[in-house]
Amino acid sequence: MKSESRLKLLIDIGVGKKVETYLSEIGYDVLSVRSLNPHMRDVDILDLAVKEKRLVITMDKDFVRQGGLFIIQKNLMQAFCC
């Protein structure tokens, strides 16, 4: 993937480390809340995502209250679990 066309992701703390690692290995530009500040507030995560033009990947259902649009696909995550 060309670096200028790589999808930029911001991975929330509730998403497994395996998912984060996998997405990075297949070429996505991955930044994790885990590495920045595990206690970061949802509003700050969204602010960072907007500032850096990143898509937030989260398992946190409370994000909907922050005004975001989220698609939850449980089966997608099963491939990365235990």
Contact between 5 and 70 under an 8 Å Cβ cutoff? The reply is no
Q: Which of 6, 9, 22 is nearest to 49 (CA)?
A: 9
Which pair of structure tokens corresponds to residue 13? Answer: 């703390």
- At residue 68 the predicted structure's pLDDT band, cuts being 50, 70 and 90, is low
pLDDT of amino acid 21: 93
What are the Cα distances from residue 20, in Å, to 23, 58, 59, 60, 68?
A: 5, 11, 13, 15, 21
DSSP 3-state of 27 = coil
- Residues 2-55: tens digit of each pLDDT: 555 688 999 999 898 999 999 999 999 999 999 999 999 988 998 899 899 998
Which pTM value belongs to this model? Answer: 0.74
Q: Which one has a higher pLDDT value, 33 or 76? A: 33
